[in-house]
Structure 1
């Protein structure tokens, strides 16, 4: 009996110590007693949503403030307005006072576009020849001349092309170990990405002489490039489109692409036109129209039927010879689109589908 009593006392002592340490843990981090409660999900840009702080011990708190991306979201009638400039994965931060101590807690959220994307279709204006050996990864007009970047290891190039005839006017080849990706032209320079090497290049536009190499920062891979005359936009196979400084090529932030229903991660080749980014959807016969400030996917262009007009040559790959390559001609105000190993370059006009 004495032995059983001693055992019980020992167990109670251990249990008491555990309770003590647990209590100390709560006191050490009182923020664990609280969590942010949002009235509804999914969440959309400019939406008003009810917000509160769940308090497990009914402790008295005061001076509550909410922030996303460093911007305070004022509370009115128990609601905050998600009037944030960009979409995607966010963190809602709540700051409040407890017994004279300021605490901070967080809640992850996904901010989506306020409206569904419009659907566009197209008319073919003209059709031009395109080199079937060109595994097109980048396409851009500059001063009426078409520049093209091609991919595949051992076949990657940058080219200056007469778009009306398909004649390659000038070309350089990449090292056989590299897989060329998107290109863009800005301030007398041509910028080019490679896929998984984490390496990009800057060339003199006239001579194609290499000026320098650059490496990626946080972005995963090299996919598409475009620019707005001040900064370069870069896709990397995720939902993020990065901003690059054209001089240092350092990443200076990003947007995330989203519809009103989900975050989307298939932006490939890019083209910038009047505040919008036109982006090929990877391995699909469609293109997104993305707001370059917020990341909202405002439109989707259905290019179904275009591929059926392409003649399959000896380099055709049924899986990979897909729509890829978009360039805007500012004087003609038309888009030029093609695909990997396609024999045609299509000049098209797009319009909303009724």
Structure 2
């Protein structure tokens, strides 16, 4: 009889455990950060032929880096119409990647060529080129340093004066390492990141590399045209606290609600 009860209790436990695991109650569950569903405020036009690799907002314009060999460029774009005002095409043998703004200069990575180009913000003319080791994916700045992703689980802090490596931050959600970090944007004290092949945005605490929260943007891609590929564009309007997102071959840029960071961190 005792064996019978043990079997019954074991069967019941096996039925209950998956429910608790799915809700995040399992003790060894590595996914700690909360996930927030994005809220669309409005949409703007976007060139659906653009293989977006880097994206930023400054003084009423979007700046975008596009990829693909023979199609890589850096552009200055009018947000309301999607009109390209200025474009600088890079060599056909180079694959454009992430961009960031620092001190009225735009830095643009290349994928495997180990070159970072520097442009004048206003004229989009090239000023300099830096060499680095490894792949270039995403790029942003906290105002003091440049922050670069290379597809791994770590971000590299670099000196904007010479692009030399200063430090590394490895990114985790709980105990889980987050790989394939891609496009980056610094917003309100956190580093926002796209993850390649996933329609999510992570908010990283730059002090410790921990994911504070995720934004689920999977509802956006179906609205961005039949050829839309993975999300890969984050732009932050610092002055007006607005967040814009787009992706590879998307025909729209979406303004979405930026989550209240202080409330999320106090609740977690």
Candidates 150, 164, 168, aligned match of 1:236: 150
Structure with the greater alpha carbon radius of gyration:
1
Q: Which residue of 1 aligns with 2:74?
A: 158
Q: Structure 2: which 5+ runs fail to align? A: 1-29
Once the two structures are TM-superposed, the CA of residue 207 in structure 1 deviates from its matched residue by 1.6
Written as runs of structure 1 = structure 2, the 5 A alignment for 1:176-191 is: 176-191=92-107
Once the two structures are TM-superposed, the CA of residue 115 in structure 1 deviates from its matched residue by 8.6
Written as runs of structure 1 = structure 2, the 5 A alignment for 1:333-344 is: 333-344=241-252
State the TM-score, normalizing by the size of structure 1: 0.63
CA distance in 2, matches of 1:348, 1:331: 16
Once the two structures are TM-superposed, the CA of residue 332 in structure 1 deviates from its matched residue by 2.8
Structure 1 residue 124 corresponds to structure 2 residue 40? yes
Q: Structure 1: which 5+ runs fail to align? A: 1-113
**Higher RCO (C-alpha under 8 Å, 6+ residues apart):** 2
Structure 1 residue 168 corresponds to structure 2 residue 68? no
Written as runs of structure 1 = structure 2, the 5 A alignment for 1:40-59 is: none
Contact 2:60–2:78 under 8 Å retained in 1: no
CA RMSD of aligned residues (A): 1.8
Written as runs of structure 1 = structure 2, the 5 A alignment for 1:314-353 is: 316=227, 321-351=229-259
Contact 2:31–2:176 under 8 Å retained in 1: no
Once the two structures are TM-superposed, the CA of residue 330 in structure 1 deviates from its matched residue by 1.9
CA distance in 2, matches of 1:331, 1:255: 27
CA distance in 1, matches of 2:190, 2:163: 21
Q: Which residue of 2 aligns with 1:20?
A: none
Contact 1:118–1:300 under 8 Å retained in 2: yes
Query: How big is each residue's C-alpha offset from its partner over 1:60-98, in whole Å with a ceiling of 9 and x where there is no partner?
Result: xxxxxxxxxxxxxxxxxxxxxxxxxxxxxxxxxxxxxxx
Structure 1 residue 247 corresponds to structure 2 residue 161? yes
Written as runs of structure 1 = structure 2, the 5 A alignment for 1:1-354 is: 116-217=32-133, 220-312=134-226, 316=227, 321-351=229-259
CA distance in 2, matches of 1:203, 1:228: 18
State the TM-score, normalizing by the size of structure 2: 0.83
